């Protein structure tokens, strides 16, 4: 018999459990429908006992599931038992938890409940290994228990970014699609509540506005442009609300990150569990001398649409470096020693060149086949050419800066992915696979692409293009293995 104090989930979990057995409500629904067809109200009333029984069963399942779920915690870990017919026992050692997070969702605040999640390096990459709605007091105690277990000393450093940096982060990370999706959901839901006429009225107003504000451009293109702009602004505002009151606190072995106004998020990350540090810049941020710093830890930023695994939302390059030195001195980036160099320019420009040449060609051909849509096609073609040229500029900068180096036990790599330039610091022990890829053209000048895979639940390759092969092999200590291999292969390839 365990002496640890057993806890239940918060009673609001009963409602969350009911969601899983919602199908039971089909029985009274179908019965009501059949009664209405056959006998009317009297026939329905005579069988009402069945509905009451089903509803009781419906509620009973939820309550039973809640009652059968208990958990306890101590310095060793979290113990959990659950299940009515199928019993499940779970133990998560405290030292294995890479991220313990507490989400204080706005609709749970009046009930004093929070959503508690624990993640270990393993298991499903979609869901947390442990996820429960518990009372705020219990969650705070669990967090404090982990803190005591990991950090005998008080905090070492605190970082609170300026509000303008939160705005910059939102500026760079917001995307139109999220805003447009949010907007369309909002309008359709409003339409459902206030009547379809209201939603249609909103769409109609938007159409009229788009026509009036077209200013010479095709109205359909104007509508698309305004929709994207509005979506972006909306996503920007949501992001600012989400990341306000950002605070990072570094303790001996743990790092605490908290942010949010409406929904408060609170994370406790193991410093040794950080897989890599990513200093990210868009081209615009690079020109202005700004950068954002992101962390990769299993469990932090899990819900990609709502959470960002940020450490420094934005800051001047020097400022970001100082913050990294203060919070994570063991993950200081080093200067690149092995570079791709300008000799690699064709390798870097191939992809953007396809877009830069392909888009005008495609729009020209489409306009030939559909002359009545000519204006629209040309307009969209020109508009699409702008991101293609931007991509070309990113790759030019990437060509000048990309490369790899090693200092102490950390590798620093610089590369670009999409429209972002990355400077990534990876501890040696967090590399799960090193892959070198060499095309026929790269064989001629002994160059190769490097794909570094890091620890995590999902394979995440970092691609550095066109590096000198021999230097890369030497950096990773692979030249000896492959040197022996080549010599032996020349002598006699051995088969089983």
Residue 22 or residue 440: which is nearer to another protein going by CB? 440
- Considering only residues 406 to 445 of the shown chain, the ones binding another protein according to CB under 8 A are 429, 431-440, 443
Stretch that binds another protein, among 222-230, 325-333, 350-358, 482-490 (CB under 8 A): 482-490
Phi, psi of 438, rounded to the nearest 5 degrees: -130, 120
Residue 39 carries which DSSP code? Answer: T
Contact with another protein (CB under 8 A): which of 88, 196, 197, 485?
485
Residue 211 or residue 409: which is nearer to another protein going by CB? 409
Residue 131 or residue 481: which is nearer to another protein going by CB? 481
* Least distance between another protein and beta carbon 75 (Å): 25
Residue 326 or residue 456: which is nearer to another protein going by CB? 456
Quote the radius of gyration of the chain (alpha carbons, Å).
28
* Least distance between another protein and beta carbon 97 (Å): 16
Tokens 């399942």 identify what position?
Answer: 61
Stretch that binds another protein, among 190-198, 247-255, 260-268, 476-484 (CB under 8 A): 476-484
Binding-site size for another protein (CB under 8 A) equals: 39
405 is written with which tokens?
A: 């180096």
* Least distance between another protein and beta carbon 469 (Å): 9
Residue 35 or residue 454: which is nearer to another protein going by CB? 454
Nearest to 167 by CA among 247, 232, 240: 240
* Least distance between another protein and beta carbon 278 (Å): 15
Distance from C-alpha of 309 to C-alpha of 122, rounded to nearest angstrom: 18
Q: Do 254 and 268 form a contact (C-beta atoms < 8 A)?
A: yes
Phi-psi region of 283 (alpha: psi -120 to 50; beta: other; left: phi over 0): alpha
C-alpha distances in Å from residue 459, one per residue of 271, 280, 433, 456: 21, 20, 10, 7
The 115-144 contact track toward another protein, x by CB under 8 A, reads ------xx----------------------
- Considering only residues 443 to 472 of the shown chain, the ones binding another protein according to CB under 8 A are 443, 448, 453-460
Q: Do 262 and 283 form a contact (C-beta atoms < 8 A)?
A: no
* Least distance between another protein and beta carbon 437 (Å): 5
Residue 181 or residue 434: which is nearer to another protein going by CB? 434
Q: Could you tell me the sign of the dihedral formed by the alpha carbons of 132, 136, 138, 139, in that order?
A: positive
Instruction: State whether residue 454 is helix, strand or coil.
Output: strand
Stretch that binds another protein, among 250-258, 399-407, 413-421, 484-492 (CB under 8 A): 484-492
* Least distance between another protein and beta carbon 307 (Å): 20
Q: Give residues with Cβ within 8 angstroms of 440, minimum separation 6.
A: none
* Least distance between another protein and beta carbon 206 (Å): 45
* Least distance between another protein and beta carbon 404 (Å): 14
Instruction: State whether residue 156 is helix, strand or coil.
Output: coil
Residue 377 or residue 464: which is nearer to another protein going by CB? 464
Q: What are the DSSP E strand ranges found in 22-63?
A: none
400 is written with which tokens?
A: 């000048």
Using the rule CB under 8 A, is 482 a contact of another protein?
yes
Residue 121 or residue 313: which is nearer to another protein going by CB? 121
- Considering only residues 239 to 278 of the shown chain, the ones binding another protein according to CB under 8 A are 275
Q: Could you tell me the sign of the dihedral formed by the alpha carbons of 461, 465, 470, 476, in that order?
A: negative
* Least distance between another protein and beta carbon 81 (Å): 28
C-alpha distances in Å from residue 489, one per residue of 28, 322, 437: 74, 50, 20
* Least distance between another protein and beta carbon 122 (Å): 8
* Least distance between another protein and beta carbon 449 (Å): 9
Residue 169 or residue 448: which is nearer to another protein going by CB? 448
* Least distance between another protein and beta carbon 472 (Å): 10
Residue 170 or residue 275: which is nearer to another protein going by CB? 275
| Inter-helix orientation angle 219-243/176-194, to 10° | 90
Tokens 């277990």 identify what position?
Answer: 149
Distance from C-alpha of 319 to C-alpha of 245, rounded to nearest angstrom: 19
The 37-66 contact track toward another protein, x by CB under 8 A, reads ------------------------------
389 is written with which tokens?
A: 């040229």
398 is written with which tokens?
A: 């990437």
C-alpha distances in Å from residue 429, one per residue of 355, 424, 433: 38, 15, 11
210 is written with which tokens?
A: 């788009």
Residue 2 or residue 124: which is nearer to another protein going by CB? 124
The number of residues making up the chain comes to 496
Stretch that binds another protein, among 72-80, 82-90, 155-163, 474-482 (CB under 8 A): 474-482
Residue 110 or residue 477: which is nearer to another protein going by CB? 477
**Site residues for another protein per CB under 8 A:** 121-122, 275, 429, 431-440, 443, 448, 453-460, 473, 476-478, 480-482, 484-485, 488-489, 493-496
């Amino acid at each position: 018999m365990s002496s640890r104090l057993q806890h239940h989930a918060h009673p609001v979990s009963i409602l969350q459990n009911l969601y899983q057995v919602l199908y039971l409500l089909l029985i009274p629904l179908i019965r009501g429908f059949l009664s209405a067809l056959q006998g009317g109200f009297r026939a329905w009333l005579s069988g009402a006992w069945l509905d009451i029984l089903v509803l009781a069963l419906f509620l009973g399942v939820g309550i039973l599931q809640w009652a059968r779920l208990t958990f306890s915690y101590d310095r060793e870990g979290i113990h959990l038992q659950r299940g009515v017919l199928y019993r499940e026992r779970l133990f998560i050692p405290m030292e294995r938890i890479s991220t313990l997070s507490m989400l204080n969702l706005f609709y749970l605040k009046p009930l004093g409940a929070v959503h508690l999640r624990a993640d270990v390096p393993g298991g499903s990459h979609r869901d947390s290994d442990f996820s429960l709605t518990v009372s705020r007091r219990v969650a705070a105690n669990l967090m404090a228990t982990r803190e005591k277990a990991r950090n005998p000393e008080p905090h070492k450093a605190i970082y609170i970014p300026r509000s303008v940096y939160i705005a910059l982060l939102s500026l760079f990370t917001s995307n139109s699609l999220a805003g447009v999706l949010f907007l369309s959901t909002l309008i359709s839901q409003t339409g459902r509540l206030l009547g379809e006429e209201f939603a249609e009225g909103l769409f109609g107003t938007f159409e009229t506005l788009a026509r009036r504000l077209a200013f010479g451009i095709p109205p359909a293109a104007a509508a698309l442009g305004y929709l994207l702009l509005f979506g972006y602004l909306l996503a920007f505002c949501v992001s600012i609300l989400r990341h306000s009151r950002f605070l990072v606190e570094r303790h001996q072995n743990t790092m605490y990150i908290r942010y949010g106004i409406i929904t408060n998020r609170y994370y406790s990350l193991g410093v040794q569990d950080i897989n890599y540090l990513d200093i990210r810049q868009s081209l615009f941020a690079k020109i202005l001398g700004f950068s954002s710093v992101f962390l990769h830890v299993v469990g932090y930023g899990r819900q990609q649409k709502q959470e960002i695994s940020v450490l420094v939302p934005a800051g001047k390059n020097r400022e970001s470096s100082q913050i990294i030195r203060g919070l994570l001195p063991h993950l200081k980036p080093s200067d690149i020693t092995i570079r791709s160099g300008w000799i690699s320019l064709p390798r870097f420009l191939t992809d953007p060149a396809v877009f830069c040449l392909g888009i005008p060609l495609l729009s020209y051909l489409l306009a030939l086949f559909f002359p009545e849509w000519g204006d629209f096609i040309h307009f969209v073609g020109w508009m699409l050419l702008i991101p293609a040229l931007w991509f070309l500029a990113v790759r030019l900068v990437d060509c000048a800066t990309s490369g790899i180096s090693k200092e102490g036990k950390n590798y620093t790599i610089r590369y670009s992915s999409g429209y972002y330039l990355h400077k990534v610091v990876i501890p040696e022990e967090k590399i799960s696979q090193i892959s070198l890829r060499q095309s026929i053209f790269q064989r001629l000048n002994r160059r190769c692409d490097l794909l570094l895979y890091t620890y995590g639940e999902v394979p995440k390759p970092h691609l550095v293009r066109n590096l000198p092969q021999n230097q890369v092999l030497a950096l990773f200590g692979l030249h000896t293995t492959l040197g022996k291999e080549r010599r032996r292969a020349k002598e006699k390839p051995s088969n089983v």
